[in-house]
Structure 1
Amino acid sequence: MRTLLAIFCPFLIILSIYLGDLQAVVIDLGIDVLVENHFHGLEAKRIGLITNRSAVNKNGISTIDLFFHSPQVKLVALFTPEYGLYGLEPMKKNGSYVDSQTNLPVYPLIGDDLKPTAEMLQNVDVLVFDLQDIGSRSFTFLSTMGLAMEAAAENGKEFFVLDRPNPLGGERVEGMPFDNHFRSFYSEWDIPYIHGMTPCEIAVMINGENWIFKKPKLTVVPMKGWDRSMLWKDTGLSWYPPSPYLPNEESPFYFAISSFLGISPEIDNGIGTAFPYKFIGASRIDPYFFSRQMNKRKIPFCYFRPIFYWSFFGKFRDRMLGGCQIHIQDFSKVKLVEIGLHLLQELMMELNQEPLASLNADQMEFFDRFCGTDEIRRGFLSGKRIQEIVESWDSYIQNFKEKRKKYLLYSSQPLTQ
């Protein structure tokens, strides 16, 4: 068996490097750069890999397989974020188990163990993070990364981050702002709701801004060929869903618009349908009137189509809902957070304020923590205009843009070869 592995490993790695010539991929991911550099810095070390099956190289070969079959490193443990190792489990799973494919222990970083414990790290020399983030603060992968960085430092372990594109691009920065009073796993770092940064850039910022109590020895492995103007479609990469609710490369845009709306017990955001985050509805909405009112708002680069639909699971299971399907017409120019605010405002008007007024104490706390601020809830209930709310974020956004400059690893224009 060892002989077969020794023969197969070099073939797998060579294949992962040179198959790119047959595809339209225009960038090298962090994992590609690491393999090309023969796992430099990780040689002969015991690796704990924080990943899931959405983390692949530019040719679709799993990061897990590349580490597991490499003779240069020793993969000893797997750590998984929300949605599990295969990125398909809709329910949170607590407790370690053994992966049937690699026979390695798997530690879910969710529930009671949001960061690795000393026991989990006992046989690990280096933690390596390779996950596909989606560019919105409330998506928990970057929270997992920073907390794991802190755990690595507390236990004397090194930390590597392998970079991946921000699907929303590196230039888009939008509210909602971060308020430390509402810090949670869904809003862990002092970054806007849409931050325009990559995992490596955020990791360097976490260390540089002292956002964790103890900082690890950090190594980042940037991409080659990516620039800040690129959306996912510009990279030539295939999309591998990091969660069951992000099925294609457009999904991160719709997540940024509507993920926070689904916290309200009165609003459905498409979870439980084939169009998560693209459908917005409620059980007492006339879809034709609602869509007409939304289109009257003349939101640039966005159109709303009336729909009736059923939800197959979740809080509206087996109930007929009315609402709209969101259609983004220009992904590079549309203002994502503002669309979500307009949808919420219209729903509040048509449902007599119930989407927010009906929240119980736990739902209210979760809504505010997910948003990273209570300004949305309080502003809408007090009748503030959307423009007034958005303009109040300007100083935070400008300060963040200035602060992040020293942590950016990529230019805003394509690099000349």
Structure 2
Amino acid sequence: MNVYTGLDVIVKDKILQQKYNGNVALLCHNGSIDHTHTHAAIRFQEMFGARFVKLFGPQHGFSTDVQDNMVETNHVIHPYFNIPVYSLYSETRIPTDEMLEGIDHFFVDLQDVGCRIYTYIYTLTLLLEKCSDRDIQVIVLDRPNPINGIDIEGNLVEPGFESFVGLHPLPIRHAMTIGEVGLMHQERWAPEKTNLEIIKMQNWNREMFFEDTGLPWVLPSPNLARPESTITFPATVFFEGTLLSEGRGTSQPLEIVGHPKIEPYSFYKDHMVSKIKASKLEGFVLRPITFLPTFQKHGNIVCGGVQIHVTDRVKFKPWRTGQFIMKELYHFLEDDFKWKEPPYEYNYTQNPIDVINGTDKLRRWIEQNDSVEVLDSFENLEDYKRVFDAIKMY
């Protein structure tokens, strides 16, 4: 049975559409499509006509054509829809009073990836906080967590390490839909409550990965062109905090990791095979590869490294696997391994890897070459799991 997103639900429910009789705004991106591949903005024009007055885009822009960290998008008048498109990844990440003028119902339709280190959930929570003292209803059109709604993995953000890739004390794999993140924000983190509504999906269950939903995938950010990449993303996104390539500028970004000083076959055979076996990590195979990034880190320089092939999605633990691979590369490359320097996501002082991890303890663990088992001490998730169980909608 196919899943229907919140967008699908409102498109086919004329009575539900009539609830929203004021002016409408929509926060969306390239992946905001219904099951017929039709974009949300086209559906909103059909449903609300002249009352559809404003569009908003998150990081990477409304068109999802802008690469990388801290590359901002401009505010424009859309040439087809002839309404303003405001960027919430610009000089501001929070909508201004002027942007919110004349809006009665603010819809959010963003495909998230189920990982804390992804900015769309924070664009939502900042919007909720901004609208808390305004007569604006925020409606989330819910979408699947593409890496399932059960598995919770990784450390929580520690106080003092909050950022735009970790505003709230979430684990790396939080197992929530974007609508559930909104609910948890209202229950746990919101200074004041907002008029929030979630339009739930139909037929989605928590065991599903994206490929199980029957929904079409359109990239929600420029380097996640296929749903398989969302499974490895919580393993490879940490390499944004290093000067190793995480595959940007290749056809399979965020599935591969490498560096110009690595000869891949000897690295894999002599260094990784025995270490993987000793780690007891499961559900994946590392394949030695040579690749050529066409831009970003090591652009137009041949790199050696590995590709992560997930062989069992249920057994695969991406956070643990990513930290393990990074530790091995740190000690294999020695002086050729470099941590990225600030800034990262508008944090101009802290080490980017610490910002991404939400702690400096994992970097120190990597540098000290402790055993894989020590990672257990970072996953203190019992309180989070209790709150998660209380807010689950599906």
Same fold (TM over 0.5): yes
C-alpha separation in 2, matches of 1:349 and 1:173: 28
> Partners in 2 of 1:36 and 1:359 — Cα distance?
48
Secondary structure in 1 aligned to 2:52?
strand
Conservation of the 8 A alpha-carbon contact between 1:67 and 1:75: yes
2:377 corresponds, among 392, 400, 412, to 392
* Structure 1 pair 295–301 and aligned structure 2 pair: CA distance change class (3 A): farther
CA distance in 2 between counterparts of 1:176 and 1:192 reads: 5
Deviates more, 1:125-134 or 1:82-91: 82-91
Match of 2:249 among 252, 272, 279: 272
Q: How much identity, in percent, do the aligned residues show? A: 28
SS in 1 for 2:289: strand
- AA aligned opposite 1:48: A
Distance 1:106 1:362, change over 3 A: closer
Give the residue type in structure 1 aligned to 2:237: S
Out of 278, 294, 309, the residue aligned to residue 327 of structure 1 is 309
Contact kept? 1:290, 1:346, Cα under 8 Å: no
Aligned counterpart for 1:97 among listed residues 53, 76, 87: 76
Shift, 1:30, TM fit: 0.6
Deviation of 1:99 after TM superposition, in Å, equals 1.0
* Aligned residue identity for 2:10: L
Give the structure 2 partner of residue 367 of structure 1. Answer: 353
Unaligned runs of 5+ in 1: 1-24, 411-417
TM-score, normalised relative to structure 1: 0.87
Query: How far did residue 353 of structure 1 move?
Result: 6.0
SS in 1 for 2:282: coil
Task: Compute the displacement of 1:362 (Å).
Answer: 4.7
Partners of 2:317 and 2:335 lie apart in 1 by: 24
Superposed CA deviations along residues 39-64 of structure 1, whole A, max 9, x for unmatched, are: 44643211111101211112211111
Q: Which residue of 2 aligns with 1:33?
A: 9
Q: Would you say 1:251 and 2:233 are equivalent positions?
A: no
Question: Alpha-carbon deviation of 1:367?
Answer: 1.6
Q: Residue 303 of structure 1 aligns to which amino acid in structure 2?
A: V
Residue 87 of structure 1 pairs with residue 64 of structure 2: yes
Of the structure 1 ranges 155-164 and 347-356, higher mean CA displacement relative to structure 2 is found in 347-356
* 4+ long deviations beyond 6 Å: none
Contact 1:290 1:324 in 2 (8 A): no
Compared with structure 1, are the counterparts of its residues 287 and 214 closer, same or farther at alpha carbon in structure 2 (3 Å cutoff)?
Answer: same
Matched, 1:187 2:166: yes
Equivalent residue number for residue 293 of structure 2: 311
> Any idea what the Cα deviations from partners look like across 1:269-323, whole Å, max 9, x if unmatched?
1011111011211111120122223332133121111111111001201111111
Letter in 1 for 2:116: R
Instruction: Please point out which of 61, 69, 77 is paired with 2:38.
Output: 61
Per-residue CA shift, 1:349-394, capped at 9, x if unaligned?
11116535x5546575222111212121122223332211x21133
- The answer (yes or no) to whether the contact 2:74–2:90 under 8 Å persists in 1 is no
Check whether the contact 1:47–1:73 (CA below 8 A) recurs between aligned residues.
no
- Report the equivalent of 2:88: 109
Q: Give the unaligned 5+ runs of structure 2.
A: 345-349
Name the Cα RMSD after superposition. 1.8
1:403 Cα shift?
1.5
Amino acid at match of 1:253: I
* 2:31–2:219 contact (8 Å) kept in structure 1: yes
Asked whether the equivalents of residues 67 and 73 of structure 1 are also in contact (C-alpha less than 8 Å), the reply is no
| Secondary structure, counterpart of 1:153 in structure 2 | coil
Residues 66 and 73, structure 2, Cα contact 8 Å, conserved in 1: no
Question: Counterpart of 1:271 in structure 2: which amino acid?
Answer: R
Aligned pair partner of 2:323 in 335, 341, 347:
341
Tell me which residue corresponds to 2:347: none
Structure 1 residues 71, 202: closer, same or farther in 2, change over 3 A? Answer: closer
The 8 Å contact of residues 295 and 303 in structure 1, kept in 2 or not, is answered as no
Q: Does 1:199 align with 2:185?
A: no
2:261 aligned with 1:284? yes
Whole-angstrom distance in 1 between the partners of 2:4 and 2:169? 29
Most deviating of 367-376 and 290-299: 290-299
Check conservation: 2:116, 2:166, Cα contact below 8 A. Answer: yes
SS in 1 for 2:180: helix
- Aligned residue number for residue 376 of structure 1: 362
